Structure formats: structure tokens, C-alpha cells
Amino acid sequence: MNQTLLVVLAVGLLAAGGAFFWLNNSEDSMTSNIDLSELETQADEYFQNSDWDNAVSTYREIVAKDPNHSQAWFQMASSLRSLEQWSEAAMAFEKAHELEFNPLFTSINLARMHSQLGDIDTAFKWIDATMDTGFGQVAFLQNDEQLEPMRSDDRFETVLASAQRNSTPCEFDENFRAFDFWIGEWDVTSGDGGPTAGENSITKQPGGCMLFENWVGNGGSTGQSINYYDTARGQYTQHWIDGSGSHIELHGNLNEDGAMFLEGSQTLIDGTVIPMRGIWTPLEDGRVRQLFEQSNDDGKTWFVWFDGYYTKKG
């Protein structure tokens, strides 16, 4: 091959290479010029339409531009999960978790991915972290297909117990249960062995965070109250309103004798405010005594407003 031909070939190769280099740079430049918000819109549209392959590739473009885009990492991980690409999904969920994107959802999904990968110990590490976030969807834990490999492990019962506590925390908090001795359907007398004053129904509401009182007096009077532990005050609270427009607000706690002592005031419909206190005492025979007192001198002296004895119906 003569020298002239070598020169021609070299120039041709350089030109071809230069053209290839330009095309690559041009393509990169075109991609880099696409606005991030446009990519987000495209990716989200793919995601909403369950077009998982295109969603994954577009979210990858987004995180290439913005490696700290936590939501894109999470959405990409969710798309990979839908494609059953467990290992890749786990890595993307971990990145979202590192970027502190919704720790509850990232940790439960990491438990699911490692469960599918057969790494049960790591799956339990992540599901325990999920419980620490307050996750309380017991039915989800019992039925999710991706958690199935974990359910035969004895540790799963502990997870379910934690979720139940998260779902109904008041049921497991002695402060919220302090007034449970008042729950029941009651006949109420005025005084010990006195005439019937009325009937009272005290029910625990779903979740155990509140007691609801429904009173019907012998003369037709009615009243309702809600009773709950106020965590901000660190006290039990009662809000009562009756058919006359009178309302009562009381706060307090169990005393050293195990009786619920609440104090506050009654406000009449005309705006008059009267200091008031009440004490509910569980008696040895299963009854409850409810003693209300009021004051006409700002608490210097007290008089009995109502002294009721509760006896369980039936």
C-alpha cells in the first residue's frame, strides 16, 4: 500500500470518527437540553399508564440529571417492582430511603423486595424499621403476596403484634384505659339505694381512644359526653353537653385511691360559668359512684350537685 493511500485512509477514519463523536455529543446535548420537568411529566405519565419499561428508563434519565431526586428513585423502584426486578428495585428503594423519601413506604417495600429475593433476615430488618415508623396495616401484612415468604417465620407474629399496637395505640396505653371501669350499661340511682335517676350507657369507641356517654334521665333529660386522655395536657378530659344547652369541661387523672378526679367548670346557656368537679369511684361490689360538686364562691366551698350510684344492667 503506497503512502498516498495510507494518508487517504487515515483522513477518512479521522473524519468518520469525528462524525461519530459529533453525533454522540449531539445526542447527549439534546438529552441534556430536555427540561427536567418535561421528563418528570413523561415519567409520571408512563407510570400512571403502567408502562413500566418506559417509566424506568425515563426515571433513570431524571436521576442521572438529579441524583438527589428522591421521588424519582422511589417511582423507578416501584416500576422495577412491578416488573418483578427485585434486586434492582431494592437498590432503587434503598437510594430513596437514603434520601429520606417517605421512610414508611420505602422500608416496607425494602422488606417486600428482600422477601422476594429470599433474604429473610434483611427483610425482617426492614419490616422492623417499618414498624418503628408507626405502620399499622395488619391486613396488608397478612395478605400481601410479596411478604408471603416471611409469614412462615416465627418472627412474623411479633411483627403483626407491633402493627396491631400501631393501629390501636390507645388500647395499649394505660393512660387511655384509666377510665375503662366506667364502661357499661348502667341503672343510676340518686344516692346509695335512692330513687332511680336514669340510665347511662358508656361505650368505648373504635380504637379505644374515647369513651362516649349517653345519658337519659327519668324526667326525660338527656346529655352526652366524650371522654379521652389528652396527651398534650397529660390529663383525662371530659366534654359534656345536655339538652338544656349547658356544657361541662373537666380535666384530671386517677387519684391515689384509683378514682377518676376531674375538675373544671359548667357553662350554662346564659353564659354563667360555675366551678365544678367530679369524682368517679369504682366500688368493691362492681358499682361506680359518680359525685359532682359545684361552688358558688370560686372554689372556697363546695356543695353536692349530683350523687349517683351506677349498677350494671342485667
What is the bridge-based pairing of β-strands 303-312 and 184-190?
Answer: antiparallel
Domain containing 261 equals: 180-312
Task: Check whether residue 237 and residue 302 sit in a common domain.
Answer: yes
Q: How far apart are the first and last CA of the chain?
A: 115
CATH code of the domain containing 162? 1.25.40.10
**CB burial string 92-122: b at 16+ within 10 A, e below:** bbbbbbebebebebbbbbbbbbbbbeebbeb
Single residue among 154, 172, 190 that ends a domain in this structure: 172
Listed in sequence order, the DSSP H helices in 99-246 are 103-116, 120-132, 138-143, 155-167
CA 145 to chain centre: 23
Task: Quote the number of domains for the chain.
Answer: 2
> What's the maximum distance between 2 C-alpha atoms anywhere in the chain?
128
The answer on 153 and 187 residing in a single domain is: no
With respect to residue 57, please indicate whether it lies within any of the assigned structural domains.
yes
pTM, two decimal places: 0.72
Q: Domain check: are 233 and 287 in the same one?
A: yes
The answer on 41 and 162 residing in a single domain is yes
- Classify residue 23: in a domain, yes or no: no
Q: Verify that 168 and 211 share a domain, yes or no.
A: no
Among 172, 207, 238, give the residue marking a domain's end: 172
Give the model's pLDDT for residue 314.
Answer: 86
CB 88 within 8 A of CB 63: no
CA distance 284 to 188: 17
Domain-ending residue, one of 119, 146, 172: 172
Beta strands per DSSP E along the chain: 184-190, 196-204, 211-217, 222-230, 235-242, 247-254, 260-267, 273-282, 288-294, 303-312
Q: How far is CA 39 from CA 69, 74, 120, 137, in A?
A: 12, 15, 36, 34
- The pLDDT tens digits along the chain (314 residues) read 444 333 333 333 333 333 332 223 333 434 455 789 999 999 999 999 999 999 999 999 999 999 999 999 999 999 999 999 999 999 999 999 999 999 999 999 999 999 999 999 999 999 999 999 999 999 999 999 999 999 999 999 999 999 999 999 999 999 999 999 999 999 999 999 999 999 999 999 989 999 999 999 998 999 999 999 999 999 999 999 999 999 999 999 999 999 999 999 999 999 999 999 999 999 999 999 999 999 999 999 999 999 999 999 98
Domain membership flag for residue 229: yes
Output phi, psi for 251, to 5 deg.
-140, 150
Number of residues in the chain: 314
CA 166/CA 307 separation, integer angstroms:
39
